[in-house]
Amino acid sequence: MRQARTFDFCIGPYRFHARVFSTFLIALAWLALLGLGTWQVERLQWKLGLIAERHQRSEAAAIAAPASGADMNDLEFRRVRLTGHFLNDKEMYLAARSLNGNIGYHVVTPFMGEDGTTTLVDRGWIPLDRKDPATRAQGEISGTVTIEGLIRSPGRKSWVVPDNEPDKNFWFFVDIPAMAAHAGLSDLRDYFVEAGPEKNPGGYPIGGQSHIDLPNNHLSYVITWYSLALALVVIYLIYHRVKP
C-alpha cells in the first residue's frame, strides 16, 4: 500500500506535520474564500459608488424635463422640474405600498406640461381609506403648478410581482404603455417622476417616497468570507501541529 506523501514545516517555535494532498485541497478552499471576500470588497465599493451617485443626482439643481428616448443611465434619480397641471380625473393607484408600516397606495397622476407633453407623476402615499379622491379633495390640485421630483425608469416586472389589473385601475408596477392606454393618453414620456417631499394641501398624498439608498450587506459578506478563510488556517494549523 502506497504511503501518503507528507511534509514538515515550522512556524516560529511550532512544528507541523501535514499531508501534501489534503494541504493542496485546503489551500484551494482557502484561496476560494479569499476570492469571495475580495469579490465582495469590489461589490461594496461599487454599491457605495452607486449610492453616492444617486444622492448627488437627487440633490443637484433641478433640470428641465428631458424628451423621451434619452439615456436613462444618465437620468435615473436626476431632479427634474415640471410646469403644467394635473389630470386628476385620470389618476391611478399603485397597490401594496407602505409608509412607516402602514399599507396603502401610491397615487399616480398624469401631468400635462405647458408644451403639451404628459408625464406620469407618482405623487406619493395615501392610506387605504383615502383612495377615494373625495376623501382628500384638497390634495386634488387644480390649475397651473410647478413641481419637482426625481426621474425614474419603469424598469421590469419581477416574477414575484403580480400582474397589473388595468380594468380595475389596480397596479402593482408602473407600465407606461398600459397606463397610457388606460388613461386614454397618447403622448406620455417614457419615464415617470416621483414627486418630492413638498407637502400637498390637506396632507395627502405624502410625497418624497423615493428610495435613494440601496440594500448594502456587502461589508458583512466581506467579514464572513475573510473570517472563514482565517478560521480555516487556524483549524489546519491546530490539526497538524506536532505536540512536544
Report pLDDT for 244.
74
Report pLDDT for 31.
97
Q: Using DSSP bridges, classify how beta strands 118-127 and 170-171 pair: parallel, antiparallel or unpaired.
A: unpaired
Report pLDDT for 74.
87
Q: Read off the C-alpha cell for 88.
A: 386628476
Report pLDDT for 2.
59
pLDDT tens digits, 23-62: 999 999 999 999 999 999 999 999 999 999 999 999 999 9
Torsion sign, CA atoms 80, 84, 90, 96: positive
Report pLDDT for 126.
97
Q: Report pTM.
A: 0.82
Q: Read off the C-alpha cell for 158.
A: 419581477
Report pLDDT for 150.
97
Report pLDDT for 135.
95
Ranges under pLDDT 70 in the chain: 1-3
Q: Which residues contact 124 (CB under 8 A, 6 or more apart)?
A: 106, 107, 195, 200, 204, 205, 206, 207, 208, 209
- What CA–CA distance (Å, rounded) separates 121 from 189? 11
Please provide the size of the chain in residues. 244
